[in-house]
Amino acid sequence: MKRRQFFKSLMGTSVLMLGGVSAFQWYQQSSIEYSNHVKTEFLTADDQVVLSVLIPIIAGDLPQAPNIETTILNVDEAILQLPLRTQAELRELFDLLSTGVSRLLLAGVWLNWQKAGSQHVIDFLDDWREHSLSLLQQAYIGLRLLVVGSIYAEPDHWAAIGYPGPYPINQ
Amino acid sequence: MTIAYPNTFDYSNETPATEMECDVVIVGTGAGGGIAAEILSRSGLKVVMVEEGPLKTSADFKMQEKQAYADLYQEVAGRQTIDKSIQILQGRCVGGSTTVNWTSSFRTPERTLSYWKERFGIKGLSSSELKPWFQWVEQRLNIAPWSIPPNQNNQLLADGLRKLGWEYNVIPRNVSGCANLGYCGMGCPINAKQSMLVSCIPMALSLGSQLIARARAEQILVEKEQVRGVMLSSVDNRGQVKQKNVTFIRARQVILAAGAIGSPAILLRSGLQKANPLVGKRTFLHPVTATIGLMSEKVNGFYGAPQSIYSDEFLWRDGVTGEMGYKLEVPPLHPLLASTLLRHHGEKHFQLMQNFAFYQANLALLRDGFNDLSIGGEVKLDKYDYPQLDYSPNEILWRGIRHATLSMAEVQFAAGAKKVIPLHMDATFYSTLKRARDAIMNLPAKALRWQIMSAHVMGGCAMGSDASESVCNSKGQLRGLDNLSILDGSIFPTSLGVNPQLSIYAIVAKLVAQLAQKLGGNLPQDLKAL
Ligand SMILES: Cc1cc2nc3c(=O)[nH]c(=O)nc-3n(C[C@H](O)[C@H](O)[C@H](O)COP(=O)(O)OP(=O)(O)OC[C@H]3O[C@@H](n4cnc5c(N)ncnc54)[C@H](O)[C@@H]3O)c2cc1C
Ligand code: SF4
């Protein structure tokens, strides 16, 4: 099954399950607040909310918590350099993540992202990592790669892993 | 030392000309394109080089992964096969992959060249015929075995191999005045690496050749069975097409050197697969699998020449055409890439990252394409006309990967590793060789789970003597179009069994010297004598 069809069919079932209430209505009811969002070109305000929840959880026990804005900007910039095909795939993935209805079905979490206790989010990541559908494993791998890469790109986190940074050189 | 780049245009911020004319247009400025540009310009021909990436030089190279991957690599160093099971590293900048490669320089193995001759009828490329060309390139790019002691990452590979009685040797590198920094993969900040960026390309420019950066070759124009030239699109500084088909470069001869994904893609966009149905097929990768060993002392795998020790103990383990053999080397370790390869999240991920400086990593690159079951992949176009590689790992590859993983773990324990983890999503650290062996024997051979990488894309426009089995002849000339040559890693009919750059340099040098004469150029003395 093509990924678009797959995501669509998931949306379809979930709307049916909810007795005809559209995904959009559900989405509005679960409206999310995220105040300090940064200026991005690919990521929407909703995507930023999703990321603001995922980033600290993916980062784990890093002594210096990753700066959410910097990480989001790194993710946005990386995506803008990817081929249009990959950007389209990521658009679907982020839409899926920020849409309450499919989240209900896929992750079994019916809470706003911000309110989702971190264990719920960890469970959701674990679930996608181990999922029998390769599409969800791919989604996990892609999303996680963007986020961890955007965290460890920053010198803030190098001391914690024993990386002194590049040698200073005189040219 | 600053290097001059005269006669250079940048289509991300300059208004493109609508038409240009030259003797030869070269698409791509990597290993193949760079060598070709130097030899053709030195023969007195008027050359235009076209490159979709930017011109970045040592002044821009800050040894920072974030910047380097975005500026210098295809798809921010995250190019993937269609099923996303293999991550592909390729350069996308002036100098191509040679600007970011790790400087290991090996001659093509005799066994590979003999196999090409026997199996594919390739002419003129035997070890003895190529020898003077290897020597010429080795001198031109200052290639010699690395004479400084290896960094700890490489030393531990040597230690393990020595303890086990397995063969190993020192890697020749193309460097001059290398300060042993370890950041070759982010562009050499002191111009020590003799990449195309600092050698052949500036030489060609100084002789009057032109270079257009941030310009993507869209397609080739053919009229009356002759190639007329190439159509270019301008590209912005994020690598996205700004304006399609802005410039037409009219040329007597077109050379494709856009690498083993880029060159087939141009032929596909030009509709040339109709006459040559094998375009894009049999693409090989030297699929790479890796293991990480936790050592009791710091390894600091980020510093020092990235690769200086290798082992061919298993390269021909079942003969040339049997089970897949592999070469053992190490990768350099830097935080961003390492963090992405350790496929966990949260607490588990940070626990793994915490010991980063204590990790020693081994890699095995598998020799694909020699066995009939090792069929490689296929370059296809997506709906945006952008290339993507379809390469599905199959049984013979998994067997090779498992074998290599066992060997690498054994070497690491022999070198004193406290525990070892293979890059597999179902693996954990194993604290004894026995435990590692038992676990590795049972790791599921599944795409995505067992992580595979590649920095060596080859094939897709195979040379050969049989039209039904090849895309071009042994001179790199596309069948049916005698003024279109393909001169890069894509003409290899199989992978090599060694890191590819020196094979590409020497083979392209030989083929392009013949071409220069055919075009009426005056081959310089040093090359004429070969
Ligand atoms: C990180 C890394 C480390 C490596 N380490 C080693 C090593 O130590 N030793 C070794 O031997 N090899 C190494 N390699 C591999 C080696 O560098 C390559 O095999 C070799 O450079 C390939 O040469 P090429 O001419 O086929 O293509 P490339 O060198 O990849 O050049 C192709 C160029 O064409 C451009 N291009 C593509 N499409 C278009 C288009 N449509 N229009 C215009 N331009 C286009 C690309 O941007 C690129 O610059 C490494 C590669 C990488 C990525
Ligand atoms: S190791 Fe040598 S060649 Fe590589 S980046 Fe450092 S100085 Fe340059």
Whether B31 is in a domain gets the answer no
Query: Which letter, b or e, does each residue of B29-65 get, where b requires 16 or more Cβ atoms within 10 Å of its Cβ?
Result: bbbbbbbbbbbbbbbbbbbbbbbbbbbbbbeebbbbb
Please report, as a single letter, which amino acid is at residue B342: L
In a domain, A115, yes or no: yes
* Residue A116 belongs to domain spanning: 41-153
- Among A62, A82, A84, the residue with its CB nearest the CB of B76 is A82
If one counts the domains in chain A, the total is: 1
Residue B292 lies in a domain: yes
User: CATH number of the domain that B342 lies in?
Assistant: 3.30.410
Nearest CB to B238: which of A80, A158, A162?
A: A80
Could you say which ligand is closest to the alpha carbon of residue B476? 1
For B97-118, the pLDDT digits (tens) are 999 999 999 999 999 999 999 9
Q: Does B13 touch chain A (CB under 8 A)?
A: no
Cβ–ligand 1 distance for B71 under 6 Å, the answer no
Q: What SS3 class is residue B319?
A: strand
- How far from B343 is each of A3, A143, A155, B423, B425, CA to CA, in Å? 22, 11, 21, 8, 7
In a domain, B200, yes or no: no
Structure tokens at B98: 């040679």
The CB-side HSE value for B268 (13 A sphere, CA atoms) comes to 24
DSSP B491: G
Q: Smallest Cβ distance to A148: which of B302, B339, B347?
A: B339
Residue B16 belongs to a domain: no
B383 CB-contact burial (10 Å; exposed 0-12 / middle 13-18 / buried 19+): exposed
What interhelical angle do B433-442 and B395-414 show, nearest 10? 170
Q: Please report whether residue A52 resides in a domain.
A: yes
Q: pLDDT value at position A115?
A: 58
Ligand 1 nearest atom to the CA of residue B103, by list position: 8
Exposed / middle / buried, residue A127 (Cβ in 10 Å: 0-12, 13-18, 19+): middle
B177 CA from centroid of ligand 2 (Å)? 9
> Using a 6 Å cutoff on CB, does residue B141 contact ligand 2?
no
Q: How far apart are CA B358 and CA A157, in angstroms?
A: 16
pLDDT less than 50: residues of chain B? none
Q: Is A87 on the interface with B (CB under 8 A)?
A: no
Residue A38: is its pLDDT beyond 80? yes
Cβ B175 under 6 angstroms from ligand 2: yes
Strands B86-88 and B79-80: antiparallel
Question: Would you say residue B108 lies in a domain?
Answer: no
Please report whether residue B512 resides in a domain: no
Predicted confidence at residue A29, as pLDDT, reads 47
Q: Could you tell me which residues come within 8 angstroms of residue A26 by beta carbon, excluding any fewer than 6 positions away? A: A18, A100, A101
A24 vs B60 pLDDT, higher one: B60
| CA–CA min distance A31, chain B (Å) | 27
Is pLDDT at A32 greater than 50 in this prediction? no
Q: Is B476 in the pocket of ligand 1 (CB under 6 A)?
A: no
Q: What is the pLDDT of residues B11-31, one digit of tens each?
A: 999 999 999 999 999 999 999
Residues 389-408 of B with CB under 8 A from A: none
Residue A122 lies in a domain: yes
- Other Cβ atoms less than 10 A from the Cβ of B100: the count is 29
- What pLDDT is recorded for position A35? 52
Atom of ligand 1 nearest to the CA of B503: 11
Write out pLDDT tens, residues B416-458: 999 999 999 999 999 999 999 999 999 999 999 999 999 999 9
Q: How many CB atoms lie within 10 A of CB B110?
A: 12
Inter-chain contacts counted by CB atoms under 8 A, chains A and B? 125
Provide the domain count of chain B.
Answer: 1
Judged by CB atoms closer than 8 Å, whether chains meet at B339 and A152 is answered as yes
Q: Flag if A83 and B384 touch (Cβ within 8 Å).
A: yes
pLDDT value of position B199: 98
Domain that holds residue B439: 146-174+288-367+394-449
Does ipTM exceed 0.85? yes
Residue B20 placed within a domain: no
Does the beta carbon of B184 sit less than 6 angstroms from any atom of ligand 2? yes
Q: Judge whether A98 lies within some domain.
A: yes
Q: Between chains, do B70 and A148 touch, taking CB under 8 Å as contact?
A: no
Kindly state whether residue A18 falls inside one of the protein's structural domains: no
Interchain contact B244–A (C-beta under 8 A): no
Residue A92 lies in a domain: yes
What residue spans of A42-117 are helical by DSSP H?
45-59, 68-80, 84-98, 100-107
In a domain, B437, yes or no: yes
The closest residue, in CA terms, to atom 2 on ligand 2 is: B178
B73, B137, B147, B504 from B457: Cα distances, Å: 14, 21, 29, 12
Structure tokens at B504: 């590409």
Q: Dihedral of CA B63/B66/B67/B71: which sign?
A: positive
Residue A33 included in any domain: no
| Interface with chain A: mutation pick from B345, B392, B425, highest number of A CBs within 10 Å | B345
| Ligand 2 atom at shortest distance from the alpha carbon of B179 | 7
In this structure, the dihedral spanned by the alpha carbons of residues B113, B118, B119 and B125, taken in order and rounded to 10 degrees, is 40
Tell me the mean pLDDT in the region A5-16.
43
Alpha carbon distance A43, A51 (integer Å): 10
**Single-letter amino acid, residue A28:** Q
Residue A56 placed within a domain: yes
